[in-house]
Amino acid sequence: MYFEYDVHSVKLGGVVLINMERSIHPVRTLTKEEQLKLEKDTTLLSEFKRNKLEKEAQRNWDLFYKRNSTNFYKDRHWTTREFEELRNESSDGSKKILLEVGCGVGNFLFPLLEENPHLFIYACDFSPRAVQFVKDNARYEPSRIEVFQCDLTTDLLSSRIVDCNVNIVTMIFVLSAIHPDKMVQVVRNIHTVLKPGGCVLFRDYGLFDHAMLRFAPGHKLGDNFYVRQDGTRAYYFSQEILGQLFTEAGFEIVSNEYISRETVNKKQGLSVPRVFVQAKFVKRIVCHKNVGEMMNDSNFNEASTSPS
């Protein structure tokens, strides 16, 4: 049995998105208890607390890295299997430029640097500690990586990557950490530094992921948006909302699908159903908004030009 869910007038990025009436989730079947739990959890945190979490987003992620240093996420060795664009297939030795946004401590970028010698990687994160952990990593090669601090919701990427010549942007579990009202401006920010025809490779939490269903009452911030115990936040994407977000920011959808995985905890003998969304978007050849317009946009600052 599939759980049918109603989403009326979902608000994201300042615009009201589609009404998805009784859509059917293609990969996750909820039990009756899970359905009831989601239906009953309607009380949002107070506006004051929600605003505070938004103001302190950077601080909360920086404290996350203070507590966990480089030990929380495992190196991501699956990326070239899932995204063929990342494979080492350059026959003429030409280099590709990749930008990893919200890079954390480098669990995505270091394995990739080893697997594909034809990449130059720009990487950014708004946590100063995460940026420093990347620089301190023994695998950090300044000739192949440039890492900098940047808040994707307020700092213009094009003031840091002035040639706007990026072939591939990777967004691995980062957009879910950003307030839904700011997601479109973040995707537009990325759009400005990509070459026309360049792509975004995306993987993040999907609707009805096990982690979403585990939140106790008192953690809800909005539709499919929750706060964890440590103040970091997580949004759980439906395919529909993700597709609309990127289309609105000037991208074409190449693929956009749910991925279903079982995570097994051998010690506890537990297996939990994870749901992710994985997608590829391509920048259309004609830009809908140029850098000049972005600079006039009061949401954005010029990113600091001094390396951090």
Ligand X SMILES: C[S@@+](CC[C@H](N)C(=O)[O-])C[C@H]1O[C@@H](n2cnc3c(N)ncnc32)[C@H](O)[C@@H]1O
Residues within the interface to ligand X (CB under 6 A): 61, 73, 76, 102-104, 107-108, 125-127, 130, 150-153, 172-174, 177-178
Quote the least distance from Cβ 76 to ligand X, whole Å: 6
Quote the least distance from Cβ 183 to ligand X, whole Å: 10
Rank residues 172 and 227 by Cβ distance to ligand X and give the closer one. Answer: 172
Rank residues 76 and 283 by Cβ distance to ligand X and give the closer one. Answer: 76
The CB density around residue 203, as the number of other CB atoms within 10 Å, is 22
Rank residues 8 and 77 by Cβ distance to ligand X and give the closer one. Answer: 77
Buried-state track 23-42, b at ≥16 Cβ within 10 A, e below 16: bebebbebeeebbebbeebe
Rank residues 97 and 177 by Cβ distance to ligand X and give the closer one. Answer: 177
Quote the least distance from Cβ 179 to ligand X, whole Å: 9
Closest C-alpha among 239, 222, 124, 127 to residue 180: 222
Rank residues 153 and 239 by Cβ distance to ligand X and give the closer one. Answer: 153
Quote the least distance from Cβ 75 to ligand X, whole Å: 9
Rank residues 203 and 283 by Cβ distance to ligand X and give the closer one. Answer: 203
Q: How far apart are CA 231 and CA 218, in angstroms?
A: 12
Rank residues 211 and 253 by Cβ distance to ligand X and give the closer one. Answer: 211
The angle subtended at Cα 220 by Cα 16 and Cα 182, nearest 5°, is 40
Quote the least distance from Cβ 287 to ligand X, whole Å: 22
Quote the least distance from Cβ 105 to ligand X, whole Å: 7
Contacts of 283 (CB under 8 A, 6+ apart): 191, 194, 195, 196, 197, 198, 199, 200, 250, 251, 252
**Burial class of 155 by CB neighbour count within 10 A (0 to 12, 13 to 18, 19+):** buried
Contacts of 183 (CB under 8 A, 6+ apart): 12, 13, 175, 235, 245
Q: How far apart are CA 114 and CA 75, in angstroms?
A: 12
Quote the least distance from Cβ 69 to ligand X, whole Å: 13
* 149's tokens: 């601090």
